[in-house]
């Protein structure tokens, strides 16, 4: 199949990046075209030509933007018709201005870049001047300095999925718990978005195992918390210890046990060790958590607008 112009432009960007005096490799755990270049993580977007107003159009889903922004040292590269007209923008600057960028009901942001390669915002004449980011290849080679612990792409996505599961539980009215309170999601520690600061103790569960499960949803009943949902996120681990942690809730027949991963084959292999509980465990692809999270946020916003 013949490649379209945008694919060719994206490949030209990657070819140019490979000529830099550093390493470059794809981040395979993300669906979007993202590469690690030196210490930078770069989402690549390309537009083959400008519209009748001389603007270049790019569409990026909120879920993709969120995943990129939670990586260490993230950037978004916009190739505007030619590799010589490339904007390399720090993703956080872009993320901070999302409220001024148009989007549709599905969370797809409509990004416009004008003839001078400035980012177009809502409102007449409203722009972010991007001159310093035009063909700014050297910005990708700068050392990444941070006071926070560094994370791999796998660790970052793990925290993002935990954050999304917590937020979904909060929206649905559950009491939520996560053991990784210092990990971050959208510039907040997970401890700031969970509703339970300590994991409730349960009569028929090993507490030392229970409190290590990635995300838990509870219902409050009287003075007790009843477990309803439990989630283990498996991005790159091969031991599937998450299956064992979830097993501590087997005696609670109402609890739904979920493994979140992109590897159904390994899930099925691990499931053989727990075959007597096969109907209790459920597998969800990581991308579906993003889709569900986006839908929950949209429904929450609509309910607020409607007042119902």
CA distances to 18, 146, 211, 213, 256 from 208, in Å: 47, 33, 6, 10, 20
CA 71 and chain centroid, separation = 9
Q: Classify 5-141 by CATH class.
A: alpha beta
Q: How confident is the model at residue 153 (pLDDT cuts 50, 70, 90)?
A: very high
Alpha-carbon span 263 to 254, nearest angstrom: 26
Half-sphere exposure of 109 (CA within 13 A, CB side): 22
Matching residue, tokens 């028929």: 204
Mean pLDDT of 96-119: 90
Please report, rounded to a whole number, the percentage of residues in the chain having pLDDT higher than 90: 74
3-state secondary structure of 265: helix
pLDDT tens digit string along 49-95? 989 889 999 999 999 999 999 999 999 999 999 999 999 999 988 88
Burial of 180 (0-12, 13-18, 19+ CB in 10 A): buried
Residue 44's contacts (CB-CB under 8 Å, 6 or more residues apart) are: 10, 13, 14, 33, 34, 35, 77, 79
Q: 3-state DSSP call for residue 57?
A: strand
**At residue 138, what are phi and psi to the nearest 5 degrees?**
-65, -20
Residue spans of the domains in the chain: they are 5-141, 153-306
């Amino acid at each position: 199949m013949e490649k379209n112009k945008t694919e060719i432009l994206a490949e030209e960007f990657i070819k140019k990046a490979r000529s830099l005096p550093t390493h470059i490799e794809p981040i395979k755990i993300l669906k979007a075209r993202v590469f690690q270049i030196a210490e930078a993580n770069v989402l690549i977007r390309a537009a083959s030509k400008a519209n009748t107003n001389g603007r270049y159009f790019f569409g990026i889903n909120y879920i993709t933007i969120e995943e990129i922004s939670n990586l260490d040292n993230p950037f978004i590269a916009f190739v505007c018709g030619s590799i010589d007209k490339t904007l390399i923008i720090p993703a956080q600057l872009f993320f901070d201005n999302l409220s001024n960028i148009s989007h549709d009901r599905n969370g797809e942001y409509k990004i416009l870049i004008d003839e001078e390669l400035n980012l177009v915002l809502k409102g007449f004449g409203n722009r972010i001047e991007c001159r310093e980011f035009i063909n700014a290849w050297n910005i990708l080679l700068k050392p990444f300095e941070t006071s926070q612990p560094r994370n791999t792409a796998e660790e970052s996505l793990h925290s993002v999925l935990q954050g999304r599961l917590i937020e979904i539980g909060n929206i649905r009215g559950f009491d939520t718990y996560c053991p990784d309170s210092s990990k971050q999601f959208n510039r907040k520690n997970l401890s700031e978005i969970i509703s339970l600061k300590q994991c409730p103790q349960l009569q028929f569960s090993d507490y030392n195992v229970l409190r290590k499960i990635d995300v838990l949803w509870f219902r409050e009943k009287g003075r007790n918390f009843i477990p309803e949902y439990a989630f283990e996120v498996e991005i790159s681990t091969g031991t599937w210890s998450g299956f064992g942690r979830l097993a501590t809730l087997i005696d609670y027949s109402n609890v739904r046990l979920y493994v979140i991963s992109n590897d159904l084959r390994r899930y099925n292999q691990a499931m053989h060790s727990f075959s007597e509980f096969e109907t209790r465990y459920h597998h969800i692809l990581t991308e579906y958590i993003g889709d569900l999270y986006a839908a929950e946020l949209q429904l929450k916003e609509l309910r607020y607008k409607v007042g119902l």
